Amino acid sequence: MKKVLIVDDNTDISELISLILKKEDIDSKIVNNPLEVPELIKNEHFDLILLDIMMPEMSGTELCSKIRDDVNIPIIFLTAKNELLDKMLGYEIGGDDYITKPFDNTELVLKIKSHLRLKDRSKQNNNKKTIVIGDLVLDKESFEVKQNGVKLDLTTREFELLKYFMENAGIALSKEQIFEAVWGSEYGDVGTVAVNIKSLRDKLKDNDKYIITVWGYGYKFLRKSNEE
């Protein structure tokens, strides 16, 4: 069973999240004092950390910066802040995603499950040099993509975007996840994701064959029968 560490000084919110995750067969541990976390993660395994930003003892961004080198697991910020600069700071110090309070229960579960699946999928795909889905063949070493044997003329950004999609085929990905994975710590607007996806779709002559929009959330790259 997957286990999530919930770090939030608000007892009501943390217990609510724990209850929601329990219904999804996800175990959790609640820590209301962030100062306890650095020692805790040395002795206990977690698959994901859900981290509030506004805490009196230590802010979530401070804690993330302190523990990021010690844990190679997804960190999702839970915060009432929704300013772009706050998000960019979170991404720069190693955060993977944001959930803004008040949160929707469905979005909370969807994002947590998505990051947990991404963590598992990355283990499987890290050693693959070539990914084949449908009529697409992506070669990580040569930075080439062929469709029906014909090489596609992709920009570096489009290649990285397609690689991320193909590595995580079948998983609904939020725009924030995509932005963090492909653009990393570079400054920019998450809106650039949609622009680059449109360009990639045009070059793939996609027509929803591969990349579909998950309305109100993000995108998903469809699996094909020969992927299994």
pLDDT tens per residue, range 12-56: 999 999 999 999 999 999 999 999 999 999 889 999 999 998 898
Q: Which phi and psi angles does 4 have, rounded to 5°?
A: -110, 135
**Cα dihedral: 116, 117, 118, 122 (round 10):** 110
Per residue in 190-203, pLDDT (tens digit) is: 788 899 999 999 99
- CATH numeric code, 3-122: 3.40.50.2300
Q: 128-227 has which CATH code? A: 1.10.10.10
Q: How many residues does the chain have?
A: 228
Residue 48: burial class (beta carbons within 10 Å; 0-12, 13-18, 19+): buried
pTM over cut 0.75: no
Of 141, 177, 138, nearest to 158 by C-alpha is 138
pLDDT, mean of residues 142-150: 91
Please report, for the chain, the start and end positions of each structural domain, with discontinuous segments joined by +: 3-122, 128-227
